Amino acid sequence: MRIARLFRPYRARLGTVLALIVLSAGVSMVSPFLLRAILDTALPERDTTMLAWLVGGMIAISIFTGALGVAQTWLSTLVGQRVMHDLRTQVYRHLQRLPLAFFTRTRTGEVQSRIANDIGGVQSVVTSTATSIVSNVTTVLATTVAMLLLDPLLAAFSLAVLPLFVWLSRRVGGQRRKITRKRQETMADISTLIEESLSVSGILLGKTMGRTSELAVRFDGESERLADLEVRSRMAGRWVMATIQMSFAVMPALVYLFAGLSPDAVSIGTVVAFTTLQTRLLSPIGSLLSVGVDVQSSLALFDRIFEYLDLPVEIHGGTQELHGRGGRVTFDDVWFRYGEEAPWTLQGIGVVVAPGTTLAIVGETGAGKTTLGYLVARLYDADRGAVRIDGTDIREATFESLAATVGLVSQETYLFHASIADNLRFAKPAATDAELEVAARAARIHDLIASLPEGYDTVVGERGYRFSGGEKQRIAIARTVLRNPPVLVLDEATSALDTQTERLVQDALDELSAGRTTIAIAHRLSTVRAADLIVVLDGGVIVERGTHEQLLALGGRYAALVAGGSPELLAA
């Protein structure tokens, strides 16, 4: 069973827990026999010596089993938490390996819910339920044997209804499992709504669009649905379980009646010892039936967790190391599309970017410019053809060497809710303060940072909202500068800057690009005019290529974009 495999690395510790459980169950079964001896022999015969030994034995057993219980709880909890740690880490690592396409089609709140709610929901099953099942099963087996040794007829009478109870509890568990899956889906919807509507972007959108009341109503509806599912989950089969528990409560009384009507005389000590064992038996059986229902519910959570773990990793790292010595980037007949049934986004792209030169990619929205840049960083893999760096297919390169070779500054600037220094050091954890300053100066952002009261220790806020779009973009550029990659992909890196700042940053990028291969995706004419090579994309196909002057002289698509003042290629 897949869940059982989670415990495989901790077999030795689990074996110790099992041994403690068996030992505790076996020792605790001695007490009823001591009790029978007290009632049938020591007390009637007033044998104080025997009474003292028997009572001392019962006390010693209680102390011993209590100590065993503490050790068992500590060890089982330790194993359970290690399994939880492994499961959380396994899911997180697997999600990190999934392609960008998964995250573009999956809600962030859904991913967060799988990690927080679903994995958190199985914690009790992993940390305590597994050992509880073993402990209760062992107790039931040991108690059953003891009951049979005391009086086989009474034992048969007491155990006759158990198969019915097991069948009923399994039906209840099936109902809970279905309800639990719906409940977790609703929790994921709520997590998504919270993540989207209570983020800085969501709050701004809700307030400016006057939709805060509608969002509150939507949340109220989702919360009410969750509350209803919680009630249904708690009440599913509750009458069945109540009937079972009531039956357990009246069983000792029925044993007294059965013993009194039995043709064979049963001693008082035997009856008391038997009902003591029966009480010990019914409690773990009740726990097992309840746990069985809880396990069925938890299986729905495991199903959702394993759904993520079963998602295929479409992009695998290679074994070759890229050293970035030359930086030649080659698009070798590259074809790409977002899904097998989708139309081609890129078709037959063939371009060679010589080391130390700049390739500018222009075209209308949806032409495939950003996709082409993402292929270089291997956020996606080409469906046909190959992207090569210094002759090596990037699919054969290690992820680490590719990340060190290619630096991407995206139009989607993202900053962590941390200090400026921490955001910069995400690119190079061991960077010194001096290196941070050099990178910030290159991005023309050092003077602004230095003017802040806390300098580089200033917290940028959620998604960097304490800074303007241009300031965030310059921090992101400084982060890439700090990595010092030989190949740069600038996906409209200056799009969020005003004209004056854009010129400052462009100067920094020009300085940074010297001696490096640069692939620039830009709308502004000033960004592409000085490029060594310009390619014009239209519908995923290269329709023109050449320098700025050559393409103007050609009088084709590029010249029309420049002359017409198209928003896709603005003069600056």
| Segment 229-254, tens digit of pLDDT | 777 766 665 666 666 666 666 677 77
| pLDDT value of residue 567 | 47
How confident is residue 5, by pLDDT bands cut at 50, 70 and 90? confident
| pLDDT value of residue 264 | 67
| pLDDT value of residue 352 | 93
How confident is residue 555, by pLDDT bands cut at 50, 70 and 90? confident
User: Which tens digit of pLDDT belongs to each residue from 24-34?
Assistant: 877 877 877 78
Domains of the chain plus CATH, in order, are 2-173+241-309 (1.20.1560.10), 329-563 (3.40.50.300)
Instruction: Give me 85's structure tokens.
Output: 């740690």
Instruction: Give me 549's structure tokens.
Output: 């002057």
| pLDDT value of residue 407 | 86
Q: Lowest-confidence range among 208-217, 359-368, 543-552?
A: 208-217
| pLDDT value of residue 571 | 46
Q: Among candidates 129, 12, 14, which has minimal Cα distance to 72?
A: 14
Instruction: State the Cα angle at 273 between 271 and 277, rounded to 5°.
Output: 110
| pLDDT value of residue 463 | 60
How many Cβ atoms from other residues are within 10 Å of residue 460's Cβ? 20
User: Which tens digit of pLDDT belongs to each residue from 38-85?
Assistant: 888 888 888 888 888 988 888 898 888 888 888 887 887 788 788 888
Check pLDDT > 50 for residue 524: yes
Candidate ranges 98-102, 401-405, 411-415; pick with highest mean pLDDT: 401-405
Check pLDDT > 70 for residue 456: yes
| pLDDT value of residue 572 | 42
CA–CA dist 95, 47 (Å, integer): 71
CA–CA dist 288, 25 (Å, integer): 15
Among the residues of 355-443, which ranges form H helices? 369-376, 399-405, 420-425, 433-442
CA–CA dist 28, 146 (Å, integer): 11
Instruction: Give me 155's structure tokens.
Output: 């034992």
User: Which tens digit of pLDDT belongs to each residue from 313-331?
Assistant: 888 888 888 876 678 899 9
| pLDDT value of residue 293 | 60
Q: Compare 127 and 398 and report the one with higher pLDDT.
A: 398
Q: Compare 365 and 171 and report the one with higher pLDDT.
A: 365
β-bridge partners, 361: 521, 535
CA–CA dist 344, 435 (Å, integer): 43
**Percent of the chain residues topping a pLDDT of 90:** 12
| pLDDT value of residue 534 | 92
| pLDDT value of residue 386 | 94
| Cα Rg of the chain, angstroms | 35
CA–CA dist 553, 558 (Å, integer): 10
Residue 343 DSSP code: P
* Strand boundaries in 427-532, DSSP class E: 487-491, 517-521
